Amino acid sequence: MPGIFAQHADAYATAGLPAFPVNTRRKRPAVRGWQKATPGRARAWASVDNLGAVDGLGIVMGKSSGLTEIDVDAVGDAWLALAVKRFGETPITIRTASGKAKLWYRHNGEGRRIRPFDDLPIDVLGGGFTIAPPSWREDLAAAYIYRTGGLDSLEKLPPIPPQALETGRPRAAECVRQGERNDLLWRYCMAQARHRDDVEALLDVAKTWASAFTDPLPLKEVERYARSASGYEASGRNFLGLRKPQVTEGDRIMDDLIDHPEAFTLYQMFLRWHGKRRAFAIAPTAMSAAGGPPWSRHKIANARDVLLERGFIEELVAPDPKRRKSGRYRLVHDYAKSGNNHNTPFPLLERLVMQPHGGWRDCAGHPPSGPNARLCWCGQDRGGVVLSRCAGGRHG
């Protein structure tokens, strides 16, 4: 019997949405290359038996789908009402299998922002992916459903008002007095620069806002402030109104994984060890046994799944528990920009040597299971160099 994905992929493809199969329990894509999903690929994946049988339907958020999602990570109608009050009415609202809420809006370059608002369990998903109705969670015996609207409401979606994405509350232009105009216009441009695709769009909103001054500024002066604010944003120096500076790509990674510190730590380890490798293995059991990182295998697997879900790593070869084969992965982006060696071995770990007969030995001839050797931290399969403690101390 076909699964949810096979039954509904065509409807989403007809609506122009890039769909792909998802493991709903693990919130993990069931197919590689989901970031490049298209309506045509959705139909092709649905025609493959094992993919069509999947009961989860994912949608790429952002430019490719034209959708931005407000993800309310809390149960209760009060949280949904608060989100609607802040971001505006929308014809499409969704209830997740766990009883939480999602709201869809027309994409306007929002990007992916995790917990950007103080004390609000809300994420802005203008990137990454979401799980769409009627996906089914077997473990919860519940489905994702449309509370209101559906695919026929996509053309009616409004954009999110820019002011709803602000963490502060800019002062109304009509109330600005002479002597305050320059300072407040500068602050307004800096706040708006985070949500504008280019300097012309920023200039447009700056002119509109400044035109409400009781004593307007010359247009050349408004343009000067807008272009200056755009330059600060482009160079990563726009700190105005932020709780902390957002300067580097590393800061953006931290923001995206702030709610999953184990995933953030694991990702930093992968960057250090595999930043310039085409592929690498992840074997949670072996990594846990070797203490790199010193977590349970379940915690390592959960952190890996978060990185997969949020698009930081891509699965090239799926794990095969029956054959005890670890999965192979790659970093989606190479953030290692310096000239340093980002393949630094794990502390105190050196090399094992692959023997002609197929067994692993260190430079003193000890097998990994012997009393003088430790397990490989990454569990890399035969044919590659594996890191572990070198009992003889002669390999570096």
- Whose CA is closest to 351, among 309, 396, 305? 396
Token code pair at residue 103: 């709201």
pLDDT at site 88? 95
pLDDT value at residue 341: 36
Residue whose C-alpha is closest to residue 194's, from 285, 95, 108: 108
Residue 22: its pLDDT value, please? 96
What's the Cα-to-Cα distance from 284 to each of 18, 25, 164, 377, rounded to whole Å?
A: 31, 19, 41, 9
Tokens at 100, concatenated: 């939480």
What is the residue-level pLDDT of the chain in tens, covering all 396 positions? 789 999 999 999 999 999 999 999 888 999 999 999 999 999 999 999 999 999 999 999 999 999 999 999 888 888 999 999 999 999 999 999 999 999 999 999 998 887 788 668 898 999 999 999 999 999 899 999 999 999 999 999 999 998 898 865 445 666 677 778 888 888 888 888 877 767 888 888 788 888 878 888 899 999 999 999 988 888 877 776 554 444 466 777 887 888 899 999 999 999 888 887 889 999 999 899 988 899 999 999 999 999 998 889 999 999 888 888 888 999 986 443 333 333 333 333 333 334 444 444 444 444 444 444 433 333 333 333 333 333 333 333
- C-beta atoms surrounding 234 within 10 Å: 12
| Residue 371 C-beta-side C-alpha neighbours within 13 Å | 0
